[in-house]
């Protein structure tokens, strides 16, 4: 699946929160930002035994300090605001770091066997920014059971809620179809509209108006440029 795009990132739902995974996310962001042309970041979220397994019974996110958590949240926020389209492909259980990254992507597909769950600590679900994204994307009522009680949902239910865009038996075929939808060199334009959506839930109409007008002005200028190019002006 990694061969489908120039830039890809793999996150294992079972891996611990470490400096290494933060570096991996930032490295993928670097490759996207440094690419000479528009690219699509393919994020493969899988469920497999990690190379370095944590101690038995040790709760997620395992042994980690708050500074590392902060660095992780910054890395996910960076991915969420990339000037490029992002496509997530889910196979197996999607929890932990995989769920947090999933919620920061633009287009999400999953195998029918996939299941989503907010990761749990000793005292309850992990109170990271995944909770913030869930509430903003779906509303508090829709995600209450997921967040408060750690209820697991299957891929079909996740699609019904809007957490996933497509579900099917062949994850690679879904990824190919997703790349077609996201194709066309629209990365920067998509990122502008994504930013407007992300800001919509926490910005007043008056404060948002300027950003939307600027985006409209840009769209009009690009459209006029296309017309001029078509007429040879």
- Is the pLDDT at 188 greater than 70? The verdict is yes
Instruction: Please indicate, yes or no, whether residues 177 and 209 belong to a single structural domain of this protein.
Output: no
Separation between Cα atoms, residue 198 and residue 161, nearest integer Å: 18
Instruction: Please indicate, yes or no, whether residues 116 and 49 belong to a single structural domain of this protein.
Output: yes
CA dihedral 138, 142, 143, 146 (to 10 degrees): -140
- DSSP assignment of 110-136 equals EETT-EE---EETTEE--SHHHHHHHH
> pLDDT digit string (tens) for 106-147?
999 999 999 999 998 888 999 999 999 999 999 999 999 999
SS3 151: coil
Instruction: Please indicate, yes or no, whether residues 152 and 198 belong to a single structural domain of this protein.
Output: no
Look at residues 150, 166, 182 and tell me which one is the last residue of a structural domain: 182
Is the dihedral angle over the CA atoms 194, 134, 157, 142 positive or is it negative? negative
Look at residues 182, 202, 221 and tell me which one is the last residue of a structural domain: 182
Instruction: Please indicate, yes or no, whether residues 205 and 141 belong to a single structural domain of this protein.
Output: no
Measure the N-to-C terminal CA separation of the chain; round to a whole number of Å. 43
Instruction: Please indicate, yes or no, whether residues 98 and 73 belong to a single structural domain of this protein.
Output: yes
> pLDDT digit string (tens) for 72-91?
999 999 999 999 999 999 99
- For 108, phi then psi, to 5°, come to -130, 125
CATH number of residue 52's parent domain: 3.90.226.10
Q: Which domain holds residue 218?
A: 187-231
How many CB atoms sit inside 10 A of residue 182's CB? 21
Look at residues 166, 182, 198 and tell me which one is the last residue of a structural domain: 182
Instruction: Please indicate, yes or no, whether residues 19 and 93 belong to a single structural domain of this protein.
Output: yes
Q: What is the mean pLDDT of residues 179-190?
A: 83
Instruction: Please indicate, yes or no, whether residues 75 and 17 belong to a single structural domain of this protein.
Output: yes
**CA separation, residue 109 to residues 80, 154, 158 (Å):** 17, 13, 10
Residue with tokens 């509430």: 135
- Is the pLDDT at 103 greater than 70? The verdict is yes
Yes or no: say if 134 and 146 are a contact pair by the CB < 8 Å rule: yes
The predicted pLDDT at position 228 comes to 72
- For 218, phi then psi, to 5°, come to -65, -45
Instruction: Please indicate, yes or no, whether residues 166 and 192 belong to a single structural domain of this protein.
Output: no
Residue with tokens 């194709």: 183
Separation between Cα atoms, residue 118 and residue 130, nearest integer Å: 8
> pLDDT digit string (tens) for 45-76?
999 876 555 555 556 677 899 999 999 999 99
Could you tell me where the DSSP H helices lie in the chain? 19-34, 66-80, 96-102, 129-138, 140-149, 155-161, 171-182, 187-200, 205-231
How many CB atoms sit inside 10 A of residue 146's CB? 23
- Is the pLDDT at 195 greater than 60? The verdict is yes
Instruction: Please indicate, yes or no, whether residues 137 and 206 belong to a single structural domain of this protein.
Output: no
Instruction: Please indicate, yes or no, whether residues 193 and 114 belong to a single structural domain of this protein.
Output: no
The predicted pLDDT at position 52 comes to 57
- pTM metric for this prediction: 0.91
Q: How many domains does the chain have?
A: 2
**Cα 104-138-136 angle, rounded to 5 deg:** 60
Instruction: Please indicate, yes or no, whether residues 106 and 156 belong to a single structural domain of this protein.
Output: yes
Instruction: Please indicate, yes or no, whether residues 136 and 169 belong to a single structural domain of this protein.
Output: yes
């Amino acid at each position: 699946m990694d061969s489908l795009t120039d830039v890809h990132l793999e996150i294992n739902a079972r891996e611990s929160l470490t400096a290494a995974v933060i570096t991996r996310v930032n490295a993928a962001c670097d490759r996207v930002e440094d690419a000479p042309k528009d690219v699509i970041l393919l994020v493969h979220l899988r469920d497999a035994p990690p190379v370095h397994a944590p101690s038995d019974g040790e709760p997620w996110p395992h042994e980690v300090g708050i500074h590392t958590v902060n660095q992780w949240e910054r890395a996910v926020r960076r991915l969420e605001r990339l000037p490029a389209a992002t496509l997530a492909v889910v196979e197996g259980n999607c929890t932990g770091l995989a769920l947090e990254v999933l919620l920061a992507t633009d287009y999400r597909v999953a195998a029918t066997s996939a299941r989503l769950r907010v990761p749990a600590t000793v005292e309850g679900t992990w109170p990271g920014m995944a909770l913030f994204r869930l509430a903003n994307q779906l509303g508090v009522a829709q995600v209450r059971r997921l967040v408060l009680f750690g209820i697991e949902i299957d891929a079909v239910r996740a699609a019904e809620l809007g957490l996933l865009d497509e579900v099917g038996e062949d994850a690679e075929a879904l990824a190919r179809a997703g790349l077609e939808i996201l194709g066309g060199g629209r990365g920067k334009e998509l990122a502008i509209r994504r930013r407007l959506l992300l800001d919509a839930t926490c910005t007043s109409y008056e404060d948002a108006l300027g950003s939307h007008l600027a985006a409209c002005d840009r769209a009009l200028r690009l459209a006029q440029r296309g017309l001029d190019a078509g007429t040879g002006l």
